[in-house]
Amino acid sequence: MNQSFADLSPERLRALLHQMMLIRAFEEAAEQLYLQGLIHGTMHLSVGQEASAVGACAALRPDDYILSTHRGHGHCIAKGARVDLMMAEFFGKETGYCRGRGGSMHMADVETGNLGANGIVAGGVPMAAGVGLSIQMQRQDRVVLVFFGDGATNEGAFHESLNLAAIWNLPVIYFCENNQYAMSMAITRASKVEKLSDRACAYGIPGVTVDGNDLLAVYCATKEAVERARSGGGPTLIEAQTYRWKGHSKSDKQRYRTKEEVKAWQERDPIARLAQKMLEAALLTENDLQQLQADVDAEIAAAIEFAKASPEPDPATIFEGVYA
Amino acid sequence: MSRELTYAEAVREAIDLAMARDERVFLVGEDVGVYGGAFGVTDGLYQKYGPERVRDTPISEAVIAGVATGAALTGMRPIAEIQFMDFITLSMEQLVLQAAKLRFMLGGKVQVPFVLRTPAGAGTGAAAQHSESLENWFVHVPGLKVVMPSTPADAKGLLLASIEDPNPVIFVEHKLLYRTKGAVPEGYYTIPLSQTEVKRPGRDLTIVATSLMVVRALEAAERLAKEGVEVEVVDPRTLKPLDAEPIIRSVCKTGRVLIVHEACKTGGFGGELAAVIAESEAFDYLDAPIRRLAGLDIPVPYNRELERRMVPQVEDIVDAARRLVKEAR
Amino acid sequence: MATPVIMPKFGMAQEEGTIIRWLKQEGERVEKGETLLEVQTDKIDMEVEAPASGVLTDVRYGPDATVPVTTVIALIAAPEEVAAAEARPSSAPSAGVRVSPVAQRMAAATGVDLTQVTGSGPQGRIVKSDVAGALQAQAPQRAQPQEDETRRVRATPAARRLAREHGIALAALTGSGPQGRIQAADVEKALSSEKRGERREKEEAIGVQPGTPGETAVGEPLRGKRRTIASRLSQSWQNAPHIFLTTSIDLTRIDALTKELADDVEAAGGRLTLTVWIARAVAAALQRHPRLNAWLRLDGEQLVYTQHESVHLGVAVAVEDGLLVPVVRNAETLGLAALAARIGDLSARARTGQLTPDEVSGGSFTLSNLGMYPVEHFTAILNPPEVAILAVGRAQVQPFWNGAAFEPRRMMQVTLSADHRVIDGAIAAAFLAELKRLLEEPARLLL
């Protein structure tokens, strides 16, 4: 076992690399479908942030919970969701994860512990305290990991949730994907602390900042936080520094940043970095890599076919799900 | 068997019974523990069930609603308390954008069964930020249920039904009702949600009232009876989803309807009720315009007399009812 | 593009017209200006000309149909368009009309003719607001007169339902609610009084005999002129409390003067009849008693009284299927000869159906003369919104006590009907006295 790959087996590493590639392929396909007019609404792409989603979820058990964000396709896939059912949701089809009622911003797969993406910045953060309390009161040894962006850390609810989880010692991992911008607002303009994880000290909990484009770094930091939470040590605030390559949503002209800045971050591509590292460690061959890419492309193609062939929701069921 | 209990005691008894019966039920809110709740409603429960199930929170209304939502989503049955309904403004996002919609947004694959109790209403001299009646905001949100009991017996049965309900329920209590007494059956029972009740039968005029206004309408009906005017008092009890049928039936019978609520008139629940009546077959039985008697469109004033005038009183109901009946005779 | 043929509005007060017959058939070629059909309005019969040359298509109403004015009743299509027009459903707009789907649906639902609507959207596209505008513009004309009346009545929904269920006319009831609002109890009261037989008595009094045994008479709905007369007269009789005053007028001097002036009047194109004399005297008397030269109208919920400066004298003329009242405008400005010529002309054209709509409306006082029949005197029903009408009986020689002996004199009885809501008995009497004096001492007409 190579020390630099933590406790991850080569098979596991290949699986995680595959997951990152699948996320990217899914989002690139989604963008194409949008441009072709096959998908409506909007979407928030996490291209460039795959390591934080996959690294964080790799440290969780299948029965652990996550709460996700509007930029949540990666979290959903990383937690184990099926891309065909996701694609069907994208198409608004009855076979989709949310029966076409939620779409990109509310993608959820309760069976794999994903309690849902969220259209509201910091929307999942207060709920995470409730999920944590639920776990604690039911004497389960699960944890809940809540993803949120740098923008969410300036919402009041963020403070309320971290404080409550801290005083009640709840098994919550607060996972901040700092992709540098809340829409156009740079985090350097929005916060005066050097690292967002510094805020942890305000709640008396551990805080850590990691390179969010380094899968192993993310994995290791999350694993430590998960172990602490699971053993009754309470919440942790993790900040994964990363970057979104695409605009905030489909209508972003990206006037707030330079092409050079984007390019510099693209050179730190989390997928290429892991692949390179595995190639160097002979855990992967170029052939393997090509095969992985081919597998991923086929999966996405099949997902699109499934979504296209799926039925639309029956308008007669429009009221379903409003009340239980 | 039933005995006299206050409204507050009835609410407490319901919580107690639910907690004794179901391990998943717990209480969360500001000062609900040792303090016993700002109005003493949860008094003694902390001693009985301990700090884990009777949880004091910091002053954090957003996360109180978030805790209720998250815990309900993952198998618990929280009863959250927002100390004054005014403070629910700080919980709106979690209630309106999360709890209410989660089930729908997720294609019906989850449930969010919690009860959020909150005392509303003026009459305590607490002025504009501690006297709100905001129930209609929640009536406007699909996915939420809104319950507003007017008697101790209803409070107990409706609260137990709300706790059993698989949806988020906003349970609006009234501060001035807490000390009112009434016969309350012993033991565990539920009164189904969305079941409007005729509190007093009559043939001349229908008064549809909510919460404290039901009590005042009944008193007004008593006075009017002495003048030979027979008022039917109808209490929706659950505002959303509304059981409109008994209201419509009553208006068909009497041909006149007065709607009374404490919340400000403009945009209040009375407008919805009026529209429901006007759109129904009751329209053809109306022998006078639908009238509303509601809170004035002002913030609740501090001054005792101004505060009194802001909210419909028994004599106001008597006057409005009398005018309505006279003009249509 | 097809040109619509609409039910024309011939007069200010006209709300609908009844088609008598089509002179052109569907598919027939017509030239602009040719007569397409004949229409009966509430006052007169009119011809409708083709507004364009082409082929008559899409005839939407047949004979006897009563149609609100401005409603499209047919289209005239350019010949090459006919085939295309037939292929389309009739509710679809004509080619070249740009319509938003919402506007299209709205028009179909409300019966608005899109060819009559000007589009305000891009490239003249007809949008929702245009249809709404057209609807609003049509609203007053579309409404049936009876509906209009019902709508003006203040009544609760419960009262309306009861009235509907029992066929009670709300307008006939008095409301006991605020501002006279009719309550359910008012309808119930009317219902119970009906049960006591009051209504049946009333019906018998006006000759309604439902189901006479042995007879198989076919009922016929009132139309056009007759319907208008019926509704106006019953409205007048029900709404206006009438008072009647009768006087006898000695015609000795008028008769003498007639002999003197008849030739001159005839030379001017008229005939100096008794009607002309009375018209002249009425115009003069109204100048001195203008309270009777007025209208009383319901404006919303208010009764509004308007006095006229000029005398627009309606002169009732019996015609084949009813009664026409052509109006002599500014009668007070006309001398005997001009008045005679004018009355002669109007009466003649009334009998041949050639009056224009404006010649039969706008009167301020009406004169009704049945002197050609053996009618000694009669009472007339007010012609709303006028507040007075004069009924003239037959002139006949009667014994007259001159203080020493009876002598024969030609006398005539006239009866004034006045709306007691605004005309007191004394005022009516003063007018009548003035009129009597003017006719008995015609020199006063010169004053």
CATH code, domain carrying C398: 3.30.559.10
Is chain B touching chain A, with at least 3 CB–CB pairs below 8 Å? yes
Rounded CA separation C62/A99 (Å) = 56
- Domains (range + CATH), chain B: 2-185 (3.40.50.970), 197-327 (3.40.50.920)
Rounded CA separation C203/C198 (Å) = 9
Examine the domain organization and report whether C238 and C363 are in the same domain.
Answer: yes
Mean pLDDT (chain B, rounded)? 97
Rounded CA separation A122/A167 (Å) = 20
Examine the domain organization and report whether C285 and C183 are in the same domain.
Answer: no
Q: What are phi and psi of C133, to 5 degrees?
A: -60, -45
Please give the residue of chain A at the shortest CA–CA distance from B77. Answer: A134
User: Residue C424 falls within a domain, yes or no?
Assistant: yes
Place of tokens 């608004």: A92
Q: Which among B172, B114, B111 is positioned nearest to B138, based on CA atoms?
A: B172
B211: tokens are 């919460």
User: Residue C257 falls within a domain, yes or no?
Assistant: yes
Contact flag C183-B329 (C-beta cutoff 8 Å): yes
pLDDT tens digit at each of 324 positions of chain A: 445 899 999 999 999 999 999 999 999 999 999 888 888 888 899 999 999 999 999 999 999 999 999 999 999 999 999 999 999 999 999 999 999 999 999 999 999 999 999 999 999 999 999 999 999 999 999 999 999 999 999 999 999 999 999 999 999 999 999 999 999 999 999 999 999 999 999 999 999 999 999 999 999 999 999 999 999 999 999 999 999 999 888 778 888 999 999 999 999 999 999 999 999 999 999 999 999 999 999 999 999 999 999 999 999 999 999 999
How high is the pLDDT of residue C70? 80
Examine the domain organization and report whether C241 and C105 are in the same domain.
Answer: no
Give the CATH number for residue C45: 2.40.50.100
How high is the pLDDT of residue C79? 65
User: Which chain B residues have a beta carbon less than 8 Å from that of C177?
Assistant: 288, 327-328
The 10 Å Cβ neighbour count of residue C398 is 15
Rounded CA separation B180/A48 (Å) = 62
CA distance C109 to chain B (A): 21
Examine the domain organization and report whether C314 and C353 are in the same domain.
Answer: yes
Show which residues on chain C lie within 8 Å of chain B, measured between beta carbons. 156-161, 176-178, 181, 183-185
Contact flag A98-B106 (C-beta cutoff 8 Å): yes
pLDDT tens digit at each of 447 positions of chain C: 688 888 887 766 677 888 888 888 888 888 888 888 888 877 677 888 888 888 888 888 888 888 888 888 888 888 666 545 444 444 444 455 677 766 776 676 666 777 778 787 777 778 777 877 777 666 544 434 344 333 468 889 999 888 888 888 888 888 888 888 899 989 988 888 776 665 455 445 554 445 555 555 667 767 667 777 787 888 888 888 999 999 999 999 999 999 999 898 888 888 999 999 999 999 999 999 999 999 998 877 788 899 999 999 999 988 877 788 899 999 999 989 999 999 999 998 888 878 887 888 889 999 998 888 889 999 999 998 899 999 999 998 988 888 888 889 999 999 999 999 999 999 999 999 999 999 999 988 888
Q: For chain B, which chains pass the contact test of at least 3 CB pairs under 8 Å?
A: A, C
* Neighbouring-strand partners of residue A66: A114, A145
Rounded CA separation B99/B105 (Å) = 10
Q: What are phi and psi of C26, to 5 degrees?
A: -55, 135
A125: tokens are 């953060």
How high is the pLDDT of residue C91? 45
Q: Which among A79, A120, A102, A129 is positioned nearest to A235, based on CA atoms?
A: A129
CA distance B91 to chain A (A): 9
Secondary element (H or E) of residue B198: strand B197-200
User: Residue C354 falls within a domain, yes or no?
Assistant: yes
Contact flag A131-B74 (C-beta cutoff 8 Å): yes
Assess whether B140 carries a catalytic annotation.
no
Q: Give every residue of chain B whose pLDDT is below 50, as ranges.
A: none
CA distance B204 to chain C (A): 13
Q: Taking the C-alpha atoms of B257, B258, B264 and B269 in order, what is their torsion angle to the nearest 10 degrees?
A: -30
Rounded CA separation B110/A130 (Å) = 15
Give the CATH number for residue C134: 4.10.320.10
Residue where one domain finishes, among candidates C86, C106, C133: C86
Read out DSSP for C65-122?
Answer: -EEETT-EEEEEE-HHHHHHHHHS-TTSPPTT--B-HHHHHHHHHHT--GGG----SG
The answer to whether residue B20 neighbours chain A at the CB level (below 8 Å) is: no
Q: Which among B32, B17, B109 is positioned nearest to B64, based on CA atoms?
A: B32
Is chain C touching chain B, with at least 3 CB–CB pairs below 8 Å? yes
Residues 238-267 of B with CB under 8 A from A: 241
Examine the domain organization and report whether C327 and C392 are in the same domain.
Answer: yes
CA–CA distance from B7 to each of B13, B141, B153 (Å)?
Answer: 10, 27, 8
B306: tokens are 């101004």
Question: Which candidate from B70, B93, B241 shows the least CB-CB separation from A130?
Answer: B70
Examine the domain organization and report whether C258 and C189 are in the same domain.
Answer: no
CB B45 within 8 A of CB B81: no
As to burial, measured by CB atoms within 10 angstroms (0-12 exposed, 13-18 middle, 19+ buried), residue C409 is: middle
Q: Which among C63, C134, C436 is positioned nearest to C285, based on CA atoms?
A: C436
Examine the domain organization and report whether C15 and C44 are in the same domain.
Answer: yes
Contact flag B288-C156 (C-beta cutoff 8 Å): yes
User: Residue C215 falls within a domain, yes or no?
Assistant: no
Contact flag B60-A160 (C-beta cutoff 8 Å): yes
A267: tokens are 């050179």
The answer to whether residue A99 neighbours chain B at the CB level (below 8 Å) is: yes
Q: Against a cut of 0.90, is the pTM above it?
A: no
User: Which chain A residues have a beta carbon less than 8 Å from that of B60?
Assistant: 160, 163-164
CA distance A313 to chain B (A): 11
Rounded CA separation C13/C211 (Å) = 37
Residue of A137, A159, A310, A314 to mutate, testing the B interface (most B Cβ within 10 Å of its Cβ): A137
Contact flag B107-A128 (C-beta cutoff 8 Å): no
Rounded CA separation A57/A61 (Å) = 8
The answer to whether residue A322 neighbours chain B at the CB level (below 8 Å) is: yes
The answer to whether residue B113 neighbours chain A at the CB level (below 8 Å) is: yes
User: Which chain B residues have a beta carbon less than 8 Å from that of C159?
Assistant: 287
Q: What are phi and psi of C20, to 5 degrees?
A: -85, -55
CA distance A99 to chain B (A): 5
Domain ranges, residue C3? 1-86
Examine the domain organization and report whether C390 and C262 are in the same domain.
Answer: yes
Examine the domain organization and report whether C377 and C315 are in the same domain.
Answer: yes
Q: Where are the beta strands (DSSP E) in C293-446?
A: 294-299, 302-307, 313-315, 317-319, 322-324, 327-328, 365-369, 388-392, 396-401, 406-419
Question: Which candidate from A99, A132, A133 shows the least CB-CB separation from B107?
Answer: A99
B-to-C residue pairs, Cβ atoms closer than 8 angstroms? 35
What is chain C's Cα-based Rg? 27
Question: Which candidate from B62, B76, B110 shows the least CB-CB separation from A160?
Answer: B62
Please give the residue of chain A at the shortest CA–CA distance from B141. Answer: A322
Show which residues on chain B lie within 8 Å of chain C, measured between beta carbons. 255, 283-288, 327-329
Examine the domain organization and report whether C278 and C411 are in the same domain.
Answer: yes
3-state secondary structure of B83: coil
3-state secondary structure of C305: strand
The answer to whether residue B167 neighbours chain A at the CB level (below 8 Å) is: yes
Catalytic center residues of C: 420, 424
The answer to whether residue B329 neighbours chain A at the CB level (below 8 Å) is: no
Residue of B109, B115, B116 to mutate, testing the A interface (most A Cβ within 10 Å of its Cβ): B109
Quote the number of domains for chain C: 4
User: Which chain C residues have a beta carbon less than 8 Å from that of B281?
Assistant: none
User: Residue C217 falls within a domain, yes or no?
Assistant: no
| Catalytic residue selected from B130, B140, B174, B261 | B130
CA distance B279 to chain C (A): 12
How high is the pLDDT of residue B329? 58
Q: What are phi and psi of A287, to 5 degrees?
A: -60, -45
- Domains (range + CATH), chain A: 3-307 (3.40.50.970)
The answer to whether residue B75 neighbours chain A at the CB level (below 8 Å) is: yes
User: Which chain B residues have a beta carbon less than 8 Å from that of A115?
Assistant: 73-74, 110
Examine the domain organization and report whether C178 and C78 are in the same domain.
Answer: no
The answer to whether residue A134 neighbours chain B at the CB level (below 8 Å) is: yes
DSSP label of B300: P
How high is the pLDDT of residue C146? 42
Q: For chain A, which chains pass the contact test of at least 3 CB pairs under 8 Å?
A: B
The sign of the CA dihedral B39, B43, B49, B51 is positive
Examine the domain organization and report whether C354 and C330 are in the same domain.
Answer: yes
- The CA-CA-CA angle for residues C314, C319, C324, to 5°, reads 25
Sheet holding B291-295, edge to edge: B197-200, B231-235, B205-209, B257-264, B291-295
How high is the pLDDT of residue C402? 85
Rounded CA separation C133/C119 (Å) = 10
